[in-house]
Amino acid sequence: MNKLNPSIKHHTYVAIFISLWIFIFTYYIRPFDGGSYSLYWWEFLSFGYTIIAFLCYFIVAMIQDSIYRLIERWNIALELLIICVFHFLNLVLTFIYYKSPFLRGIWTFDEYSSGILKSAIIFTPIIIFGRILTLKYLPKEEKNDIQKDHKTNSDNETITVRGEYKLDILKLKKAELVCISKSQNYVEVFFIENESLNSKLIRSSLKKIQNEFDFLVQVHRSHLINPMHFRSWKTNNSILLNQIEIPVSKNYKANLDSL
């Protein structure tokens, strides 16, 4: 998971969700040995574990919020770290509660850790599911920032237009490419350089170029355009790009209308 909903409110809901699962699991499955324990003991254990799980996840939500605000990014390594922190806090605090005068648990820490580890394997997918669910409620501004970052990275991507000859090559950023036009056995690549429109002839076919760069849109049998440079329609049969006018044939108008 490479995105994060930093909202404490939404992660509070996840904490409640996880706590309820832990209560149900602990009370009904009863993972500890000891059939002599009374119903009261199990109720006391389950309610305590529920509160501890809620507090542990809430602490984790605060920690991840601080990390996210500091580095302004998220990745799978951080996601795994946060889940491990939750399990560690939950292990330590529940063991303290288990050995408290209220419960007087008989397991040693090693025995207890082994039992909790088995439970953690069961609960981890539930935690992941709850955290993924928060992404559906990602604040609008966060979604816009993610989309903007993705678009910026995509536009800054360097592409290479190659021809049939070794020296037939043009490297440029995706955002700099304006359009490509057929010119007999060549294609003419139009691109922005130093805020001016330039072009270069490369021996290749329009079809080959279109197969290599799927972001280009065909608007005429002899023209491919980079849609980010579309400015406006000039007439019913032509459009204005950045510093250039391109004809549009009826067969390809739908390609533009769908954008």
Report whether 242 contacts 206 (CB < 8 A). no
Q: Where are the beta strands (DSSP E) in the chain?
A: 158-162, 169-173, 177-183, 186-193, 196-202, 217-220, 223-225, 232-235, 238-241, 244-247
62 or 37, greater pLDDT = 62
Q: What is the pLDDT of residues 210-235, one digit of tens each?
A: 989 989 999 999 999 999 999 988 98
Domain boundaries, the chain: 8-150, 157-257
Best-predicted range by mean pLDDT (45-54, 97-106, 130-139)? 45-54
Q: What is the mean pLDDT of residues 108-122?
A: 87
What pLDDT does 166 receive? Answer: 76
Report whether 213 contacts 206 (CB < 8 A). no
Residue 164 banded pLDDT, cuts 50, 70, 90: confident
Q: What is the pLDDT of residues 120-145, one digit of tens each?
A: 888 899 999 999 888 887 655 444 54
What pLDDT does 33 receive? Answer: 62
Q: What is the DSSP letter of 250?
A: G
Rounded CA-CA distance 85/141 in Å is: 28
Tokens standing for residue 232: 């406006």
Q: What is the DSSP letter of 200?
A: E
CA distances from 10 to 14, 141, 216 (A): 7, 16, 40
Domain 157-257 part of CATH 2.40.50.1020:
yes
Is pLDDT at 173 greater than 60 in this prediction? yes
What residue spans of 33-108 are helical by DSSP H?
39-71, 76-98
Mean pLDDT, rounded, of the chain: 86
What pLDDT does 34 receive? Answer: 52
Residue 168 banded pLDDT, cuts 50, 70, 90: confident
Is pLDDT at 2 greater than 90 in this prediction? no
What pLDDT does 141 receive? Answer: 45
